[in-house]
Amino acid sequence: GALLATREPTNCSPSLCSDISPLLKDPAAFRTLIDLLEEHLRASFPKIDFIAGLDSRGFLIGPPLAQRLGIGFVLIRKKGKLPGPTESVSYALEYGKAELEIQSDAVEPGQKVVIVDDLLATGGTMCAACELLKRLKAEVLECLVVIELKLLKGSEKLKSIPFYSLLQFD
């Protein structure tokens, strides 16, 4: 985990702290990130059926993690991007509304799912993703992110759903 334990710069704006681009450019750092997330999930849950990734950076972290765990990956996308029948949920943004969708047959009732994204800010998108999986009667084991912006209190929105973040910034 040494590669991720870099010192936080004093002028760390949320946009700077929450940018995972440097991790993606560095194969060793990215491998370490996936190692840490895999270790956490293996230690926490004996059985996971799917990783669900949020549009769009969850698509970068989710598939390699699912591969390591030997499980499938499902997409949760912005409205209008997925083929076939979908479940859709609308949620509030600070500047309006957005909609998320999942394919209606993405998961079966009772299947255990971990939702993955790069960042938790206000928690609106993650909450909407949880709602979609609830509608499909899946069990959300955990919401997993690389970076949590603590000041925005997004994890409080998730209420009873377990939440894990690798890095936290105030």
Tell me the CA distances in angstroms from 42 to 13, 26, 35, 70, one per residue in order.
32, 24, 10, 11
Q: Which two tokens stand for residue 96?
A: 């309006």
User: Residue 148 carries which side chain, given as an amino acid letter?
Assistant: E
Tell me the CA distances in angstroms from 54 to 4, 34, 57, 148, one per residue in order.
22, 16, 7, 15
User: What are the catalytic residues?
Assistant: 57, 94
Inter-residue contact 102 to 74 (CB < 8 Å) = yes
- In three-state secondary structure terms, 41 is helix
Instruction: Give the chain's radius of gyration (CA, Å).
Output: 16
